[in-house]
């Protein structure tokens, strides 16, 4: 068993604080679009999933974004109220809602994606492939890897 050396020697400690800094910076950079990070993640996830098949279900969007089911539902409803998303019942099961980004939603998502890409480069450097791959391997338990980058 490894002996504790204090929080400053813990990768988890630094990962937690780096994530807090990244989140605060992304939130600040998304503010001109009128989006929070959670709103952005749900909107971008809806668009991303729709590019690779049928319109995603609300649950698929929430899962991809890593959001809580109830909070995700509230935020998706708010994005729908703002005209960024539409929700409609699935053709085979009315209990399932399918999500689609509107033209306005696709536009704001595209601008938000560029902001996040630029923020990632600012914080993690222009080539963060090794860091991304390591984090992806850690997060694989939560988000199964797809072959769709």
Q: pLDDT by residue (tens digit) across 80-94?
A: 999 999 999 999 998
Provide the token pair at 113: 């994606």
Q: Which domain holds residue 104?
A: 33-139
**Is 105 part of any domain?**
yes
**Is 94 part of any domain?**
yes
**Is 58 part of any domain?**
yes
**Is 16 part of any domain?**
no
Is the CB of residue 59 less than 8 Å from the CB of residue 69? yes
Residue 144: the pLDDT is: 53
pTM of the model: 0.88
What stretch of H or E contains 76? Answer: helix 69-81
**Is 18 part of any domain?**
no
- Residue from 122, 127, 132 nearest 29 by CA: 122
**Is 132 part of any domain?**
yes
Q: Is 109 exposed, middle or buried (0-12, 13-18, 19+ CB in 10 A)?
A: buried
Q: What is the pLDDT of residues 1-41, one digit of tens each?
A: 777 788 888 888 999 999 999 999 999 999 999 999 999 99
């Amino acid at each position: 068993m490894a002996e504790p050396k204090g929080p400053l020697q813990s990768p988890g400690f630094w990962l937690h604080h780096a994530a807090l800094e990244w989140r605060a910076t992304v939130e600040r950079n998304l503010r001109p679009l009128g989006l929070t990070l959670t709103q952005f993640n749900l909107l971008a996830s809806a668009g991303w999933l729709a590019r690779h098949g049928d319109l995603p279900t609300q649950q698929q969007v929430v899962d991809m974004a890593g959001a809580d089911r109830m909070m995700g539902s509230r935020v998706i409803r708010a994005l729908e109220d703002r005209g960024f998303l539409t929700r409609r019942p699935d053709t085979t099961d009315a209990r399932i809602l399918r999500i689609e980004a509107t033209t306005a939603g696709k536009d704001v998502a595209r601008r938000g994606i560029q902001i996040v890409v630029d923020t990632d480069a600012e914080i993690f450097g222009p080539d963060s492939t090794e860091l991304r791959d390591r984090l992806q391997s850690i997060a694989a338990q939560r988000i199964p890897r797809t072959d769709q980058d």
